[in-house]
């Protein structure tokens, strides 16, 4: 049986790599991102190389109502989603009081509101059919507050909490939700967050493909939480045993070293 995967933020980074992986496994694709021309290029390549169907939707998912518009377009095309990958998101670096509200509001909308709404729209169909897998891309940032990236860390904490809770609710219906929590990844994320293209001062990072492979395997196994990398797992776990003030202080020091 041929399945269909909907992947947001599919024009680059982890989302693009997940599209390649799903295509390699013979899944049809719905790719969503702002850059429609880039999606069309990817779609043409994947159709040619893998003989699959690829439907592209150019959409700014930070805009209110965008999830409904995507869902209605799927309904109009009679596309049933078996795998939902909520990958689109971005971060911002700097002191919250000095930040631009429009950017913070857009981040909350893209990182929190849209993936929650898409899940709410698509999940009932999965439950009715008795099959479905959802991959929500969170972060190791999900496990502690993050001074200098306060809103981003908070949005990813939401993604983790939401994913774990709803996964518990729907597993009995044959549906699973996985929160993928990567650390820093070679995906262009940090340059976008900082905004000036400066390289990040950090140890060698895993590639977007490595993270995508890890996330895909975890989703297919129905794991609730997937943290790629041994040290990332240790760090995510260790914060449970540290005083909160120390966790926040350490996070501030790490962030400032990166940037």
Task: Report how far residue 150's alpha carbon sits from residue 146's, in angstroms, rounded to the nearest whole number.
Answer: 5
Q: pTM of the predicted model, to two decimals?
A: 0.89
How many other β-carbons are positioned within 10 Å of the β-carbon of residue 243?
A: 8
Strand partners, 86: 136
Q: Under 8 Å CB-to-CB from 248, ≥6 apart: which residues?
A: 144, 145, 147
Per residue in 124-140, pLDDT (tens digit) is: 999 999 999 999 999 99
Please say if 152 is a catalytic residue: yes
User: Domain boundaries in the chain?
Assistant: 4-258
Q: Which fold has domain 4-258?
A: Rossmann fold (3.40.50)
Closest CA to 67 of 27, 101, 113, 21: 113
- Measure CA of the first residue to CA of the last residue in the chain; give whole Å: 47
| Residue with more model confidence, 107 or 204 | 107
Is the predicted pLDDT of residue 48 greater than 90, yes or no? yes
Q: Which of 16, 59, 156, 216 is catalytic?
A: 156
Is 83 tagged catalytic? no
Q: Across residues 236-255, what is the average pLDDT?
A: 70
Choose, from 152, 158, 221, 258, the residue flagged as catalytic.
152
Confidence of residue 200 (pLDDT cuts 50, 70, 90): very low
Residue-wise pLDDT tens digits, 209-239 = 999 999 999 999 999 999 998 887 877 777 7
Taking residues 78-92, report their average pLDDT.
Answer: 97
């Amino acid at each position: 049986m041929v399945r269909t995967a909907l992947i947001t933020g599919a024009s680059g980074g982890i989302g693009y790599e997940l599209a390649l992986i799903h295509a390699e496994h013979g899944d049809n694709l719905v790719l969503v991102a702002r850059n429609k021309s880039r999606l069309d290029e990817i779609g043409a390549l994947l159709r040619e190389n893998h003989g699959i169907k690829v439907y592209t939707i150019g959409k700014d998912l930070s805009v209110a109502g965008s999830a409904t518009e995507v869902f209605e377009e799927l309904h109009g095309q009679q596309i049933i989603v078996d795998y939902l990958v909520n990958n689109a998101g971005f971060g911002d670096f700097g002191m919250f009081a000095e930040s631009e509200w429009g950017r913070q509001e857009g981040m909350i909308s893209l990182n929190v509101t849209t993936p929650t709404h898409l899940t709410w729209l698509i999940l009932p169909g999965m439950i009715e059919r008795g099959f479905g897998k959802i991959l929500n891309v969170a972060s190791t940032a999900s496990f502690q507050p993050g001074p200098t990236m306060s809103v981003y860390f908070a949005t990813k904490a939401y993604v983790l909490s939401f994913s774990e809770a709803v996964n518990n609710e729907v597993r009995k219906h044959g549906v699973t939700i996985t929160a993928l929590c990567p650390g820093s990844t070679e995906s262009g994320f940090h340059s976008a967050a900082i905004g000036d293209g400066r390289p990040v001062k950090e140890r060698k990072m895993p590639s977007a493909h490595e993270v995508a492979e890890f996330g895909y395997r975890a989703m297919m196994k129905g794991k609730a939480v997937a943290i790629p990398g041994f040290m990332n797992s240790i760090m995510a776990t260790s914060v449970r045993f540290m005083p909160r003030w120390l966790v926040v202080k350490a996070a501030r020091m790490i962030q400032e070293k990166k940037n």
